[in-house]
Structure 1
Amino acid sequence: MASPSALPDRATVTEGQVKEVAKGGVITYPSVTSCLTVTVRLKGGGLVGAHASLFQVPGELRSDRILAALKDRVGDRSVTGVEVRGAVGAWHPSYFVKAIESYEGAEQPPVPTGQDLDGIARAVSQGLGLPLATVTVEDVPDGDQTVSDRDPSRR
């Protein structure tokens, strides 16, 4: 974790990445289609964001590794909220525990049967070790997502 003065004001977080911005900063998640974004709001300001992809991008984190990396980046700092946004209907909550690419042979990954907002919230809560009440999940249309730490209604 970088010192607050060394953190950028803006970050672009692509599939399989985890990044952080300083208090008042902005995170952009480009081209969110079948993905989910997970943004942690830190007490006192600042954001830590992860872009979870259904399929691993070469050289980046798989879906079953992204929450551990996000939790590591947050460390022991206080969290005021966690926002999960994206293609909720494309995700089964278990993809945060076992990535689609880790299924072998005749073993098939579970298929989502609709928008399991509660299941995804539980998986993220457990993966980050945070209370379920801190996690919100929202299905949003495909495209770029921008999250600002400056929005006072989201604190």
Structure 2
Amino acid sequence: MLIRRARWTGSKVVVAGLGALLATQLGAAGGAWAAAGAPVAAARGERAAAGEPSAVARITEGQVAEVGPGGALFYPSVTSCLTISVRLRNGGKVGAHASLFQVPGEYRSDQILPALRDRVGSRAVATVEVKGAVGAWHPDYFTTAIESHGPGDEVPFPAVPDPEGLARAVARGLGLPRGAVTVEDVPDGDLTVR
């Protein structure tokens, strides 16, 4: 379905396209995320010990975590999300699971890149891999989350997949050259980055 317009009503996103109307309810917890300031630190994935080659960091929606050299990043249930996996030159990996809608207590889409950049810190980056539902994401979601729009505001919505725009947005948000970032649309499901 080609999406023509999306509008934030304060409690739901109304998406109109080709005569169809889709309303995605945010649920009873909808007000909780709006009032949430900084995400709850205890909900974040913990850093795996650098010497653990079999370490796996499980990163759910709105979280940032890392593993040392030889470890893997595991992103469960990647459906409408994007995963951003930073491969460090030392062999470690730092990952973020960006969600279209904020999970209560976790990072919103416009908070995820600054959190990932902070976690990477001054360590040298080899590459960045963005994978997930590329067609569901507008590059602006990394600077203004869907929830940040006021009632009646027009929410940007991708008319076509924009992998180049997403790559530029991620590179800019992480302070890296565009050439360091690749973008790949992948089918729904769990994703492991080794």
SS in structure 1 of the partner of residue 122 of structure 2: coil
Deviation digits for residues 36-64 of structure 1, max 9, x if unmatched? 00000000201000000000000100000
Q: Is structure 2 residue 88 aligned with structure 1 residue 37?
A: no
Kindly state the Cα deviation for residue 5 of structure 1 after the two structures are TM-superposed: 5.0
SS in structure 2 of the partner of residue 59 of structure 1: coil
Q: Is structure 2 residue 69 aligned with structure 1 residue 69?
A: no
* d(CA) in 2 for partners of 1:8, 1:104: 45
Preserved contact between residue 53 and residue 63 of structure 1 (Cα < 8 Å):
yes
* d(CA) in 2 for partners of 1:141, 1:93: 20
Kindly state the Cα deviation for residue 76 of structure 1 after the two structures are TM-superposed: 0.5
Preserved contact between residue 53 and residue 71 of structure 2 (Cα < 8 Å):
no
**Structural mapping, 1:74-85, within 5 Å:** 74-85=120-131
User: Match for residue 101 of structure 2?
Assistant: 55
User: Match for residue 139 of structure 1?
Assistant: 185
Q: TM-score, normalised by structure 2?
A: 0.73
* d(CA) in 2 for partners of 1:36, 1:133: 19
Q: Per chain length, whose mean CA-contact separation is higher, i.e. which structure has more relative contact order (CA < 8 Å, sep 6+)?
A: 1
Kindly state the Cα deviation for residue 4 of structure 1 after the two structures are TM-superposed: 3.5
Percent identity between the two aligned chains: 62
Letter in structure 2 aligned against 1:33 = T
Which structure's residues are more often helix, by fraction? Answer: 1
* d(CA) in 1 for partners of 2:75, 2:50: 21
Tell me, which stretches of 5 or more residues in structure 1 are unaligned? 149-155
Deviation digits for residues 108-134 of structure 1, max 9, x if unmatched? 210111110000000000000000000
Structure having the higher Rg: 2
Runs of 4 or more above 3 Å deviation:
1-8
User: Match for residue 151 of structure 1?
Assistant: none
Q: TM-score, normalised by structure 1?
A: 0.91
Give the number of equivalent residue pairs: 148
User: Match for residue 144 of structure 2?
Assistant: 98
